[in-house]
Amino acid sequence: MNVKLKIFRFDPNKDEKPYYQTYEVEADPMDRLLDCLNRIRWEQDSTLSYRWSCGHGICGSDGMRINGICSLPCQKLAKDFKEEILVEPLPVFKVIKDLIVDLDPFFEKYNSIKPYLIVKAPPPDQERRQSPEQQQLLEKAIRCILCACCTAACPVNQNPETASYVGPAALVRSFRYFFDSRDEGAEERMALLDHKDGAWGCQTLWKCTEVCPKEIPVTKEIGQIKRRLYESKHPKE
């Protein structure tokens, strides 16, 4: 089948402003859009720039906007697109070149929530154990591959006036530790989460959940964080 892609181009070293370039490739219907991008780069235009690594929805490096939706081209099949496909960089972040954006601010926010287990007790003789039920609670959040699609799709992060919001990806990782039975950093985590740019920055708009390629219930998990923060200040009688 013939696949037509209209792709955002911008090289700040030579372009005064961004523009769109259209390419056509022959593809098998079961080819992924990432295969189409690779074919363009390898056979037509080696200047086209984008990130990718695993090609299978694991590394999270190829987040971009496809027909207006933040997603991974390695998870999109050519057969599912009938018309010309619009391919753009993730919104929210500064464009470095073409489809590559600067993710430093994303990882700064991610690091700010202490994305690691906080433990105070000395290590046990064997591993720190969890029951299957305790692990099950974290199972969905652990799937996160830090692709940044949720944060880029979030209208709160897109609004310059509220862009200091830590964002859904950082909150999913907060959930993963806040509800981990082995974690002993609840007080530190509450201080990091209990403010307008933390969990309360979420306006429950569901965009993050809609775009997450790992089908993590992002908004629901942020809601569970909010509930725990609220109940810590308003204990049930």
Residues near ligand FES (CB under 6 A) are: 52-55, 57-62, 72, 74
Q: Is 169 in the site for ligand SF4 (CB under 6 A)?
A: yes
Nearer to ligand FES, 54 or 117 (CB): 54
Give the separation between CA 46 and CA 38, rounded to whole angstroms. Answer: 9
For the bound state, the minimum distance from the C-beta of residue 33 to ligand SF4, rounded and expressed in Å, comes to 17
For the bound state, the minimum distance from the C-beta of residue 220 to ligand FES, rounded and expressed in Å, comes to 23
For the bound state, the minimum distance from the C-beta of residue 200 to ligand SF4, rounded and expressed in Å, comes to 19
Reported in sequence order, the residue ranges of the chain that DSSP labels E, i.e. its strands, are 2-9, 19-26, 64-66, 69-71, 85-88, 95-97, 100-101
Nearer to ligand SF4, 7 or 149 (CB): 149
Give the separation between CA 220 and CA 206, rounded to whole angstroms. Answer: 9
Q: Is 166 in the site for ligand SF4 (CB under 6 A)?
A: no
Using the rule CB under 6 A, which residue among 33, 40, 150, 202 binds ligand SF4?
150
Using the rule CB under 6 A, which residue among 144, 154, 166, 202 binds ligand SF4?
144
**Residue 207 host element (H or E):** helix 207-211
Buried b (16+ CB within 10 A) or exposed e, 138-168: bebbeebbbbbbbbbbbebbeeeeeeebbbb
Nearer to ligand SF4, 21 or 75 (CB): 75
Contact 62, 34 (CB under 8 A): yes
Q: Is 170 in the site for ligand SF4 (CB under 6 A)?
A: no
Q: Is 149 in the site for ligand SF4 (CB under 6 A)?
A: yes
Closest alpha carbon to 7 in 46, 49, 53, 43: 49
The binding site for ligand SF4 (CB under 6 A) comprises: 144-150, 168-169, 172, 211-214, 216, 218
